[in-house]
Structures are given as C-alpha cells and as structure tokens.
Chains A and B, each alone.
Chain A
Amino acid sequence: MNLLEVNNLTKSFDNGKTLTLDSISFTIESGKVLAIVGESGSGKTTLIRLISGLETPDAGHIKLNGQVMSSLTTMVPPERRVIGMVFQEYALFPHLTIYDNIVYGIAKRKDKKDRAAEVLKLVGLQGYEKRYPHQLSGGQQQRVALARAIAPNPALLILDEPFSNLDTILRDQLRREIFEIITKTGITAIFVTHDTEDALSVSDHIMVLQEGKRIQEANSEQLFQYPKSAYVASLFSAVVGFSVAQLQAFGVQTKDQHTYMVRTHAIRINETTDYSTTVIVVKAIFMGDHYHLHVQMEDQSVIMIYASKAYQNEIQIGFMGEDVLCFPV
C-alpha cells in the first residue's frame, strides 16, 4: 500500500516568479526508504517542507495513508500530520535536557519513560539523559535528533541532509548506524541529500530532482546503468563529455541532436577496446592514489582522464561500445 502519495505538486516563491517545484508526482510504499537527490536549489527542501506541512502548495495534493494532507482547499497543520523530521541543523531545543528533548513529542503518554529509554538505547546514547544539547558532539546531537523524531512513532520519517554538517569519517559511520536503525524499526523514510554516495548506500529507491522537476526515479543500479539524462549520469561518477568531432576520432558512429559521454573510469589506456584513438599527454597531476591526465586529441581539444601512472607523450585511449552514454538534446 502507498503510504505517501504526491500528485502534481507545484510551488513557486516571490509571487510566482521563481518556480521551485514543477508538477511533482510520486508515491512511497509503506516500509520503504526513498532518497531524493538534487543540487541545492533543485527544490528538494521545498518538497519535504510541503510534505511536512510547513509550506502550502500552489497546486496539486499530498495524501498520507489515503488522507488528503495538503491541497488547494485543505491544509492539515504540521502538528497533526504525524511526520517525524530530522533537520540538517538538528534543531534540538537548546534549553531542554536530552531526556526532555526526546519526550517532548510524547509528553502525554504514560510509557514515556520506557519509550525514551528505548529510543536512547536504539541510538546508543544511554546515560546522556541529563545533559544539554550543547554538551554533545555533532554526531551525538544528530542521534538525539533522530531519537526525538522517532519517539512518537511517526508514520513517515524525513531526514533533511542529515550528514552535511559532519566530517567524512563520522559521516560514514553514522550513515551506517542510522540506516540500521531505520531498517530495524521498519519505518518509512524520505532521505534528502545532495550527496549521491549517501543516497546509493542507504535507500531502496532514488529520485533525482533538477530545477524543480522530477528527472528520474529508479533503484540505484538502474539509475547508474540507464541514466535518463546527462545530469543523472554525471551525478553518480565523473564523466567525460564528448563532442561529435571527438567521437568520430574514436571511430564512433554518431547521431544528430544527441549528447554523448563516457564515465571517466571506463576509459582505458593502451588496451584493446571497441573504439580508440591516439592522444598526447599534456599534463599529469598526482592525486594520491591516481593521476589526472590532461590529454590532447587530434583536433587540439583537451580532455581529462584518470590513470594509474604518469604517462608521457603519445598514448592510446579507448572504451567499449556499451560504455557510451547517449542522450537526446
């Protein structure tokens, strides 16, 4: 059953001057995790603010458990939607203890003590009840924010860029932990990020937003292998865009009105491939575990590829037929 149903959702700001969301439709099944990926300004934050009821739509509707939450005529206030949210900046209540933060949303329940202990155990923060948010590290604050959001058993959990304020090592660890927790509780979740690595590692489905439009939605493998646009392709790994003239140098047959690209890691050096050409190495930059080679093609244009060592002078570069990504303009 679909837990969330979003239909033709549209939102603009500045009296309609900037269209932030353009007729977005999608659904989430109960118990699934959906990642929404997009650059800043793609409308992803607006989308989740609409879902949680913090903004009102210009058109379209949102249904949760079959009930209309937002539409042109209805607007259920956020406090009655039972949606849990973990904000990018955590938004913990600075003047309340960790315990009071967590029971804040369940203050009326009789088993609030047990529930608080349960969620604190889930996020691994037993014994921190009496501390204040500012006494915790960034990662710990993030866990409290998660515990607070899931304490009232929300129907839907939304995580807005939850790891963007953390450093890389902590980020990897927390990413793993948080999604273990989400899987354990079986909660339905929307996870918003600009980091595709985050999205790939944690969710069943990924939806790509660009300039307020839903570009593609699929599972991670499909998105990687069959991207619908150059933008989606470039999201998941570095790509080299080729002009028609450049491709012809490789011996590829090209069509009009199409753009072509090859993932950088798919370009082979001095190997037998379906298509290949000879180039001159202009510059090799040492990047630690690999080199960035700037190579000059026949028509004097320069492209950048990865290499395992600092090649010099003339080399042969090429790629296989199935590695060519082709999109209509």
Chain B
Amino acid sequence: MGWGNVIQRLQRDTNLWTIVTLVLVLFIAFPIGAVFINLFAGPGETWDHVVTYLLPNYITNSVSIAIGCSVLTLSIGVTSAWIVSRYEFPYRKTLEWLLIVPLAIPSYITAYAYAGIFDYGGSLTILARFFDRTRDGKLDIMNIYGLIMILSLSLYPYVYVSARAVFLTQMSNLIEASKVLGVSEFKTFFKVVLPLGRPAIIGGLILVIMEVLNDYGAAKYYGVSTFTTGIFRSWFALEEPETAIYLSAILMVLVFGLMSIERIQRRKKGYQNDSKNTTTVSRKRLSKLQQYGLCIGVGIPVFLGFIIPVGQLIYWVILTLEDTVFTSFITVALQSLGIAAAAAFGTVIIVILLIYSTRWSVLKPIQRVSRISILGYAIPGAVIAVGVMIPTLALDKWLNRSLKTMFSLNIGLLINGTVIGLMYAYMVRFLAVAYNPVESNAIKIGSRISESSLLLGVNRWRTFFKIDLPLIQKGVWSGMLLVFVDIMKELPLTLILKPYGVTTLAVKAYEYASDEMIAEAALPSLCIILTGILPVIFLNRLITK
C-alpha cells in the first residue's frame, strides 16, 4: 500500500471528533508546553545567583523530604494495610476506613495544627503544665524533620490505599498457597506479598512524592526552602518571573523522570495474578491481648494524622469563633464553594468530551495523543500556575492591543488574574482526577452498547444522551466530587492565580497562618476538612467494592 492510500485513508478517517480531541488536548497541554519551551529560552539574570546560593539548598531539601517521606509513608502505609487485611481485631472495619481519613486534611493544615500544639503556650505546654509545673513542653518541630513527619502523617494513606487494594483483591489465594506450603508469616510477607504488591505500592508512593513536591503551605510555614517555595520566592519576593519559570521547568522535568521510572518498574515486573479472586481473605485471629495491640498499633496513624490535628482545630475554632465568623467569612466560603463547583463541573464536561471524542474519532493514533491531557495531575500546582500565567498574559496583551487599535476599547486583562484563568488552571491540574472514574466507568459499560444504538439508526449525539450518559452517571458524579474536593484543598496554584479580591477557604487559612493568627486559621481549615471527608468515605467504598 503506497502513500496515496495512506493519505486517502487519513482524509476519510479524519472527522469532527479527531479535531475536537486535538483541540482539547492542546487546550489542556498548553501551559505544560509553555513551561517546557521556556527551558530552552534560557534563565533570567539572577539565575547565577540562584544556582550558587539557592538551588543546592532547594535540591537537598526537596530530595531529603521526598526520601524521608517515602520511608515513613511506606512503613506506616504498608504495615497498616497488611495488618487490616490479614488480621482480625476489635474495630477492624472502622479502623480500615479511618486510616484513609487523614487524606481529608490538606498537609498545610496538619502542619498548622501541629505547629500550634508544639509552640510556646501551645496545647502541649498546657497539657505538660497540668501534670508537671516545672516543664514547659516545648519541642521545636518547625524544621525539615518536623515537616517530614507532618507530610508523612497526612500522605501515608496513598500508600495504604494502594497496598490494601492489592492485599485484599489479589493476594489472598497466594498467601494461602504460601501458608499451605508451610512458610512462616514473616517469610510469606517478604517473599510473596511485598514483591507482588510492589508495582501498586510504588504507584502509591509516587503519588506521595508528587504531593510532597507540590506542597507549598507546610514547607513555607515551617521555613524549609524547597523547589516549590523557591518558585514562589522568585515570583513574588525577587520578582524574577524568568527564574520562577526556569525552576518550574526543571521541577517538571524531574517529575516526568519520576513518572518514567514508575512506568518502567511497572512494565518490568508486570506480574498479574489473573485468577479473579473474589473470596475474602480469612483473617487470622490472635490472642485477645495481641488483638488489642494491633488495634492500638493501627490506631496510632489515625490518632496522629487525624484526631489530634482535628482536635486542635476544633479547640481553636471554639476559641476564635466570635472573631472569625462574620459575613466576610461566609462570602469567602461561598466563593470557595462556587469556584470549586463551577471548575469541577467544567472539568467533568471536558473529560466527557475528551473521552468520547477520542472514542468517536476513527483515527486510532488519536487515542495515544489524548492521554497527554491527563499529565497535569503529576505536575506541581505552582508549575501549572506559572504555565497558565505565561500564555494567558501574552494572549491578554495581544487582545488588549488589538482591541485598542481596532475599537479603542480598554478592557483590561480578560483571562490573566481573573476567575477564568484560575479555573483553567484547575482544569489542567485536576483533569486526571475526573478522567479516571469516568473512563473506567465508560470502559466497564463497553462500546458494544453504544454501537448497538448506532446500528439501530440513532446518531452519535442522541446515542450519547440516551445511552452513554445515563450509564456513566456514577463515574461522572464521583469524578466531579473528587475534583471539587481537590480544588477546595488546593493552595499553591490558587495563591498565584487568584484574582484580586477573590479568596478561597484554603487561601484564607494560609493568610491567617502567615499573619501569625494561626488560631483563626482553624475555622476555614475545618470547613475544608468537612468537605473533604465525604469523598474519602466514598473513595473507600469504591475500593472495597
């Protein structure tokens, strides 16, 4: 078959949906591309200064935090997942989902709460004085070690969730086989469970590392310089956008490197236990004393990662309620909810369009192209914010100039520094969050059903609304909910892109904390946690199903 044939086929197979897919992918990948291109544009004037004095510090700190958090989240996450899926003990079922709950607290909020606990005159001091008047209970955690501890306590659920999913669904038969062969519990864990669960566990770990790199609030508050705080510093304090962009580009390349490692490790060890094991694991029963031991052991991460910080926040909220609850706070809360809801809705619309336009596009390679659009989730919010800033600023300037010369209109900035720019950035960052549930729902339904509809003479649009949409509803709702909560929690991206006068709950909490009004930060924080708990429960249901 010659080139003529290929071109004819390309012509025949290119339809509206091919173009829609390409446009959507470009729309979403644009900020990422913009940052990437700036790698080649060269750094700004102060770059030499940054390289000599700041960059080594950024790198050492970011890498140390990533390694420290990896070790801690792995130990907490894998052990607790192993215990809940292997042993029977009192309150196991409750603890099983409580272990996920720390995910509902953004790490910067956990950081604020612990800072308050360990501070002079904080809860620990009060507690210590209550028992022993000579001690002041001061322990300095506002450093890199404290930060590692805080981040690990709030991020270990990523490892826990993925480890537990493998332990529960895939391994019970293998564990039993190993036990029948007379291998000890200890050896079974290290020889069978850990190697087989590795791809999934590392998948969870990569999420932890990405969240660590994404973190701004906690690192900033604890005074630790990382890549992300560095981007902020060059952007706002040094007013050196070129440096910020260059740092972003380097960070993005690092993240892509991390993702490739993850892919390779998955491909190399692509074990799959194909036996669809639906029988539940028969959990081991130990002596009563040991059982309570396990219960307490598994309870520790829940206690430290959720109950203590939330307790501290509630205490603060009660202290400061009179000063913080006024109409402006309600406005902030409503703004926050409104922006998150609108952006979540927009994200889901784009996700649906993307998934179905890819499906309806006859051209097969388009499917690979469309997957580019879900890369945003891996990239730190600050980087995406910078990426949105560059092209929208240019576009606004161009629009302004043309409108001025053509109609002598002065409209100001249309996208940059407006809610539109902010929502655009949210969509880029959280597209994958909605993409996964919608896509897996669509895959579960399969394409046969919509093909039947087409063959019955009903066109694509009607097929979509009458057949596909009703059937993927669940995925759509869960996608929307997950994005909504992620946006409510989001801090670094919002800080950079929020329009003047617009404040979200996350930004409000950050502002209070930065102004040394940490107790006042509790109310917006608690509101964010409350909205976050719903989907954690929901997510847990999806996994156990």
Contacts and interface: CB of A to CB of B under 8 A. Distances in A.
B361 to A, nearest CB: 11
B5 A82 contact: no
B8 A73 contact: yes
B449 A104 contact: no
Given A89-B448, A91-B449, A95-B470, A58 B9 contact: yes
Contacts of A85: 451-452, 455
B459 A79 contact: yes
Interface in B396-428: none
Nearest to A107: B458
Contacts of A42: none
Contacts of B457: 79-80, 82, 105, 152
Interface string A62-101: 0000000000111101111111110101011111000000
B455 A84 contact: yes
Interface string B449-463: 101111111111001
A56 interface: yes
Nearest to A70: B12
A148 interface: yes
A166 interface: no
A83 B455 CA distance: 6
Interface in B457-474: 457-460, 463, 467, 470-471
A193 interface: no
B455 A93 contact: no
A27 B452 CA distance: 24
A87 B456 CA distance: 13
A105 B451 contact: no
Contacts of A77: 454, 459
B140 interface: no
A105 B9 CA distance: 30
A92 B9 CA distance: 32
A94 B471 contact: yes
Given A91-B448, A91-B451, A95-B470, A72 B456 contact: no
A108 to B, nearest CB: 9
A165 to B, nearest CB: 13
A152 B471 contact: no
Contact of B13 (A56, A87, A93, A149): A56
Contact of B448 (A16, A80, A87, A104): A87
Contacts of B1: 16, 58-59
B8 A105 contact: no
B362 interface: yes
Contacts of B460: 79
A91 B470 contact: no
Given A72-B5, A89-B448, A152 B456 contact: yes
Interface residues of B, number: 25
A149 to B, nearest CB: 8
Contact of B452 (A16, A58, A87, A95): A87
Nearest to A85: B455
Sort chain A's interface into a size bin. Answer: 20 to 34
A52 B453 contact: no
A52 B9 contact: no
A54 interface: yes
B448 A56 contact: no
A16 B5 CA distance: 13
A54 B5 contact: no
Q: Is the interface of B mostly helix, strand, loop or mixed?
A: helix
A81 B454 CA distance: 10
A91 B447 CA distance: 9
Contact of A54 (B12, B446, B451): B451
A183 B380 CA distance: 65
Nearest to B11: A73
A77 B452 CA distance: 13
A95 B81 CA distance: 37
B458 to A, nearest CB: 6
Interface string B246-289: 00000000000000000000000000000000000000000000
A52 B362 CA distance: 14
B8 A78 contact: no
B298 to A, nearest CB: 39
A238 B448 CA distance: 35
Interface in B1-47: 1, 5, 8-9, 11-13
Contacts of B9: 56, 58, 72
Contacts of B459: 77, 79
B234 to A, nearest CB: 45
B481 to A, nearest CB: 21
Contacts of A92: 449, 452
Given A104-B458, A105-B457, A91 B12 contact: no
A212 to B, nearest CB: 15
Interface string A290-303: 00000000000000
A80 B457 CA distance: 6
B468 to A, nearest CB: 10
Given A59-B1, A79-B459, A104-B458, A93 B453 contact: yes
A203 to B, nearest CB: 21
A60 B436 CA distance: 38
Given A56-B12, A56-B13, A95 B455 contact: no
A83 B459 CA distance: 14
Contacts of B8: 72-73
Nearest to B450: A91
A148 B5 contact: no
Contacts of A94: 449, 471
A12 to B, nearest CB: 9
Contacts of B458: 79, 104-105
Contacts of B452: 85, 87, 91-93, 148
Contact of A72 (B12, B470, B471): B12
Interface string B208-244: 0000000000000000000000000000000000000
A21 to B, nearest CB: 13
B454 A78 contact: yes
Nearest to B452: A91
B319 to A, nearest CB: 52
Given A59-B1, A73-B12, A79 B362 contact: no
Nearest to B471: A95
Contacts of A59: 1, 5
Contacts of A93: 449, 452-453, 467
Nearest to A88: B448
Nearest to B473: A95
A18 to B, nearest CB: 13
Most chain B C-beta atoms within 10 Å of own C-beta, residue among A73, A81, A87, A91: A91
B471 A79 contact: no
Interface of B: 1, 5, 8-9, 11-13, 362, 446, 448-449, 451-460, 463, 467, 470-471
Interface of A: 16, 52, 54, 56, 58-59, 72-75, 77-85, 87, 89, 91-95, 104-105, 148-149, 152
18 contacts: A54-B455, A56-B13, A58-B1, A72-B8, A73-B12, A78-B454, A79-B458, A83-B455, A84-B455, A89-B448, A91-B449, A93-B449, A93-B452, A94-B449, A104-B456, A105-B457, A149-B455, A152-B457
Given A56-B12, A79-B463, A94-B449, 9 more contacts: A72-B9, A75-B13, A82-B457, A84-B455, A85-B452, A85-B455, A93-B453, A104-B453, A149-B455
